[in-house]
Amino acid sequence: MSEKDMSVKEKTLFGKGTANPSNIMPQKLTLDSKIKFRCHPGVKCFTACCRGIKIVLTPYDILMLKKRLNIPAHEFLQEYTTPVYLEKTDMPGVALKLREDDDNKCPFVTPEGCTVYTDRPSACRYYPVGMADFHEGQGAMGEGADQKDEEKFFFIVKEDHCKGFEEDKEWTVAEWRADQGVDVRDEMNKEWLRLVMRRKSFGHQASLSEQAKRMFFMSSTDLDHFRRFILESTFLDTYIIDDETVEKIKNDDVELMLFSFKYLANALFGAEGLSIREDKIQEKVKEIQERQDDSVTQSIQDYKDIKAARGEEIDPDL
Ligand code: SF4
Ligand code: SF4
């Protein structure tokens, strides 16, 4: 499926910016607002929303799905995902790979419904209630982020084919979100979404190096690989990480994922939270000084060569 086709419909993950605006109801909702909606196997449109859509996966989605399928992350990525750029930025991520030979259906849908329902991705849980872009703009990664959280509001995304709105069930937005397990997902996804939104807020003013993009992709999609990077590289010699955190990184995938967000915020955006060991800083300073000394020596030599070539006298103090 081409990127163009995939952009036709997208289950909202990052907030209202990614959904088709004409499907967004022009009403700001709070957690106490009432909505009338129900989705169940009896609706005429059952599973209609599980085809022809772009479902971007968060690191937590990938973690839950690969555990559910009992396969390593790299196998999951290869078999079930396709690469995408996140939120029109240069940050690489993945979306579910639809079955091109079967009407662009999600690989997990059957006539009976979703085969991974209890571990379905975050984007599948949000519909039809979207949450506004509270992560976007300044303060998203640090100061002011909590105030931003408090500013969030909700909205309804109403697709024409969706008959769930004709059902009688009424709930508050809070009840709907709890029922769909969205609150847990929000908590797990929030720092990662903030990284993407922060990148988006920079626009094209600054570009990420290829190495930074690779690191973001690896940390976001393959925690097994990221764990090896932490434990088997010079990482622990470079950063100050307490023993308790190291133990958690070794044994707990969710803790490892949360740590990866902290690391990425530090490595990509200079956010606080990780400190480099003093001796490593000194080593780096020395290395930079040596490089500077080399270039000064080189430019003095160049100057002398030019003078000599012109037959001019060379200052003996140089
Ligand atoms: S993961 Fe499940 S709910 Fe989501 S699109 Fe696929 S089948 Fe539908
Ligand atoms: S289109 Fe709406 S009602 Fe139909 S299966 Fe999807 S969410 Fe449920």
Compute the distance between CA of residue 222 and CA of residue 27 in angstroms, rounded to an integer. Answer: 38
**What is the spatial distance between Cα 218 and Cα 213, in angstroms, rounded to a whole number?**
9
Find the mean pLDDT for residues 279-305.
76
pLDDT of residue 14: 60
Q: What is the mean pLDDT of residues 58-74?
A: 97
Q: Point out the ligand nearest to the CA of residue 117.
A: 1
CB 277 within 8 A of CB 238: yes
Chain center to CA of 312: 61
10 forms bridges with which residues in the sheet?
54
Residue 272 pLDDT greater than 90, yes or no: no
Distance of CA 138 to the CA centre of its chain: 17
Instruction: Give the pLDDT score at 138.
Output: 42
In this prediction, residue 131 carries a pLDDT of 84
Lowest mean pLDDT among 67-71, 89-93, 145-149, 155-159: 145-149
Please check the confidence at residue 150 and state whether its pLDDT lies above 80: no
In this structure, the residue with its CA closest to atom 7 of ligand 2 is: 39
Q: Bigger pLDDT: 69 or 150?
A: 69
- From the CA of 65, how far away is ligand 1's center (Å)? 11
Q: Across residues 247-276, what is the average pLDDT?
A: 92
User: Nearest ligand to the C-alpha of residue 162?
Assistant: 2
Per-chain mean pLDDT for the chain: 84
Q: Which atom of ligand 2 is nearest to the CA of 165?
A: 3
pLDDT of residue 220: 94
Query: pLDDT tens digits, residue range 108-126?
Result: 999 999 999 999 999 999 8
Indicate the pairing of strand 170-172 with strand 275-276.
unpaired
Answer whether residue 139 shows pLDDT above 80: no
pLDDT of residue 23: 80
pLDDT of 63: 97
pLDDT for 301 beyond 90? no
Tell whether the model's pLDDT for residue 5 goes beyond 70. Answer: no
Q: Please identify, by atom number, the ligand 1 atom nearest to the C-alpha of residue 117.
A: 2
Atom of ligand 2 nearest to the CA of 39: 8
Q: Whole-angstrom Cα distance, residue 217 to residue 14?
A: 17
Give residue ranges with CB within 6 A of ligand 2: 39, 43, 45-49, 127, 161-164
When pLDDT is averaged across residues 245-261 and rounded to a whole number, the result is 96
Model pLDDT for residues 205-235, shown as the tens digit of each residue: 677 889 999 999 999 999 999 999 999 998 9
Share of the chain above pLDDT 70, in %: 85
Residue 175's alpha-carbon distances to 25, 26, 37, 40, 42, in angstroms, are 19, 21, 12, 17, 21
Nearest C-alpha neighbor of 152 from the set 199, 194, 95: 194
Tell me what pLDDT residue 290 has.
Answer: 77
Assign 15 a pLDDT band (cuts: 50, 70, 90): low
User: pLDDT per residue over 19-51, tens digit each?
Assistant: 466 788 778 899 999 999 999 999 999 999 999
Q: For residue 47, what are the contacts with CB-CB under 8 A and spacing of at least 6?
A: 109, 111, 113, 114
Give the pLDDT of residue 3: 38
pLDDT exceeds cutoff 50 at 6: no
- Nearest 5°: the CA angle 10, 13, 17 is 75
pTM of the model: 0.81
Query: Higher-confidence residue: 114 or 131?
Result: 114
Residue 98 reports pLDDT greater than 50: yes
Which pLDDT score, from 0 to 100, does residue 7 have?
Answer: 39
Nearest alpha carbon, ligand 2 atom 5: 46
